[in-house]
């Protein structure tokens, strides 16, 4: 009969930090840990939610992975806990899982995402699985771990249609040099992109810095290359929008609003008004500026009237 090292009962929650405290015991703690019994009891409504989720957080990932494969209910419970947790809380757990388990979890998530997407077609904001809050934890996984999973999907499972979904969350420099991080061949890398179907042409819009790599990769694929070639102006425009938005977001995090408005204007002044407007939309979506501040800067850019800043400055200074 297994016995918790801290002598907690199945009905008792696991103390915070338990798994870190007993790491030095290695396999001994796994042999005696009852976290899986607590999660099983939660499935049967025998213990409270606090007990169940504390067992999830404090269990060694190897125990969790073993529990996950015990039943369909176990798999659904692990997924549920992943969905409701902050990504930072489950990062270590996910990165410790095998590629076999990760591939199962992602395929399940993607299937559910497709169903949600099909039922909410009018919601234009849901463009990708990683835009859904429940699946954000995938974006926190170490880049090398993601590359290993991509390789597993392609080499072992022959399922590039799942592997290709991760391209959008890879840093551009990694995506453009994927063969340096994996053992994929040129043809296998092509299969990743083509598995996206028509979405292949949306990818460089979402991640403009991989555009040049895509042109090079598909130089001998005439149809794809020609379509990509016609997109250059659009891609360069989008790259300007994203780069400038990132710079402004970083700046606004550490400066007062008057300084922000002046800095934003200095960065946007001289740009095409359409590009400037889209950059302001990015700042609005990131909650860096308000609707009224967006209107203020846009009016500022269109009229060049510096006096419009005075009411804002005086209001902030209490004059």
Sign of CA dihedral 292, 293, 298, 304: positive
Q: How far apart are CA 151 and CA 244, in angstroms?
A: 33
Q: Alpha-carbon dihedral of residues 247, 249, 250, 255, nearest 10 degrees?
A: 120
The pLDDT of residue 317 is 46
The pLDDT of residue 126 is 67
Does an H or E element contain 94, and which? helix 87-96
List of residues 6+ apart from 29 with CB closer than 8 A: 5, 19, 22, 23, 60
Q: How far apart are CA 43 and CA 172, in angstroms?
A: 42
CA 9, chain centre distance (Å):
37
The pLDDT of residue 116 is 78
Does an H or E element contain 216, and which? helix 211-217
The pLDDT of residue 72 is 96
Q: Alpha-carbon dihedral of residues 214, 216, 219, 224, nearest 10 degrees?
A: 10
| Closest among 193, 182, 111 to 150, alpha carbons compared | 182
Q: How far apart are CA 187 and CA 228, in angstroms?
A: 18
Q: How far apart are CA 159 and CA 167, in angstroms?
A: 14
Q: How far apart are CA 39 and CA 79, in angstroms?
A: 13
pLDDT tens sequence for the chain (319 residues): 677 877 788 999 888 888 776 665 555 566 778 999 999 999 999 999 999 999 999 998 999 999 999 999 999 999 999 999 999 999 999 999 999 999 999 999 999 998 877 766 655 556 789 988 899 999 999 999 999 999 999 999 999 999 999 998 999 889 989 999 999 999 999 999 999 998 899 999 988 999 999 999 999 999 999 999 999 999 999 999 988 888 888 877 776 555 567 778 888 888 889 999 999 998 888 888 888 888 888 888 887 665 555 555 554 444 4
Work out the widest C-alpha separation in the chain, in whole angstroms.
79
List of residues 6+ apart from 87 with CB closer than 8 A: 136, 137, 139, 140
The per-residue pLDDT for range 5-44, each reduced to its tens digit, is: 777 889 998 888 887 766 655 555 667 789 999 999 999 9
**Token pair of 187, please?**
């043809």
pTM, rounded to two decimals: 0.79
The pLDDT of residue 31 is 74
* CB neighbourhood size of 4 (10 A): 19
Are residues 181 and 144 in contact, defined by beta-carbon separation less than 8 angstroms? Answer: yes
The per-residue pLDDT for range 118-143, each reduced to its tens digit, is: 766 655 556 789 988 899 999 999 99
The pLDDT of residue 309 is 54
Q: How far apart are CA 29 and CA 3, in angstroms?
A: 10
Are residues 223 and 194 in contact, defined by beta-carbon separation less than 8 angstroms? Answer: no
Alpha helices, DSSP H, located in 120-185: 143-155, 160-163, 172-175, 178-181
The pLDDT of residue 318 is 45
The pLDDT of residue 268 is 87
Q: How far apart are CA 239 and CA 233, in angstroms?
A: 10
Q: How far apart are CA 77 and CA 115, in angstroms?
A: 19
């Amino acid at each position: 009969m297994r016995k918790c090292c801290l002598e907690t009962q199945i009905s008792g929650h696991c103390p915070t930090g338990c798994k870190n405290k007993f790491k030095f015991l290695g396999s001994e703690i796994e042999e005696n840990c009852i976290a899986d019994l607590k999660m099983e009891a939660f499935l049967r409504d025998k213990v409270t939610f606090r007990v169940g989720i504390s067992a999830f957080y404090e269990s060694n990932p190897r125990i969790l992975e073993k529990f996950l494969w015990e039943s369909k209910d176990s798999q659904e419970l692990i997924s549920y806990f992943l969905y409701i947790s902050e990504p930072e809380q489950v990062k270590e757990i996910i990165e410790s899982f095998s590629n076999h388990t990760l591939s199962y979890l992602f395929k399940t998530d993607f299937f559910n995402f497709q169903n949600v997407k099909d039922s909410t077609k009018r919601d234009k904001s849901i463009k990708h699985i990683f835009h859904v809050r429940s699946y954000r934890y995938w974006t926190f996984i170490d880049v090398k771990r993601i590359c290993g999973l991509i390789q597993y999907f392609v080499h072992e499972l022959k399922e590039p249609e799942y592997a290709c979904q991760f391209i959008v969350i890879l840093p551009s420099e990694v995506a453009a040099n994927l063969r340096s991080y994996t053992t994929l061949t040129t043809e296998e890398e092509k299969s990743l992109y083509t598995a996206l179907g028509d979405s292949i042409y949306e990818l460089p819009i979402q991640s403009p810095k991989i555009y040049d790599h895509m042109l090079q990769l598909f130089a001998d694929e005439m149809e794809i290359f020609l379509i990509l070639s016609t997109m250059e102006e659009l891609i360069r425009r989008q790259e300007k929008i994203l780069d400038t938005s990132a710079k402004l977001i970083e700046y606004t995090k550490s400066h007062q609003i008057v300084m922000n408005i002046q800095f934003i204007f200095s960065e946007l002044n001289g740009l095409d008004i359409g590009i400037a407007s889209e950059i302001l939309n990015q700042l609005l979506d990131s909650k860096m500026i308000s609707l009224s501040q967006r209107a203020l800067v846009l009016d500022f850019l269109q009229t060049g009237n510096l006096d419009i800043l005075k009411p804002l400055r005086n209001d902030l200074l209490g004059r």
